[in-house]
Amino acid sequence: MLILGTLPGPESLRVGQYYANPNNQFWSIIYSVFNEAILAPSYSDKLAFLSAHEIALWDVFYSAERKGALDANIRNEIPNDISGLIQPHPHINRILLNGKKAEKAFNRYFSNVSIDAVYVPSTSPAYAKITLEDKIKDWKAAIIT
C-alpha cells in the first residue's frame, strides 16, 4: 500500500521526517488502525512499523511553493513521478490519498494509474470537520479490506 500526502509541512522538512508535527494525527491513526499503541517509538521504529504492514509513504508533489503548512496554500506544484514509482513495484495494489488536496492532485496528474486509489480524511490538525475516531474508522476501512 502506498499512502500519498501532498508535501511535508515545515516541521517535517525541518527534521526530515514524515508527519513530524506532533499535532498531526497520522501516527495515532495508523497505529490505531492496527490496534496498536504508540509507546513513544523513534522515527525508525515508526518506519519499521509501516514496513511490517507493507505501507510506503510518499507525496503527490515533488515540489511546490507553500507558505506555512496548509495545503490550501500550495502553488506552482510539480508532481512526483508516481507512475515511475509504481512500475517497478507491481505489488502496490492500493493507494491512499491523505486529504482532499492529495486526492484532487492525484486525479489531475495520475488519472492513467490503474491502481485502486482511495481518499482518506486528512490527518492534518487543520482538518477538524470530523473526529479522530471517525478518521480512524475511515482509514481502517480503506486499509483493512
* Catalytic residue list: 24
The strand ranges marked E within 2-132 are 2-5, 56-59, 61-65, 75-79, 94-98, 116-120
Q: Report whether 109 contacts 90 (CB < 8 A).
A: no
Helix axis angle, 26-33 to 43-52, nearest 10°: 40
Helix (H, G, I), strand (E, B) or coil at 70: coil
Main-chain dihedrals φ then ψ at residue 69, nearest 5 degrees: -110, -10
Helix (H, G, I), strand (E, B) or coil at 38: coil
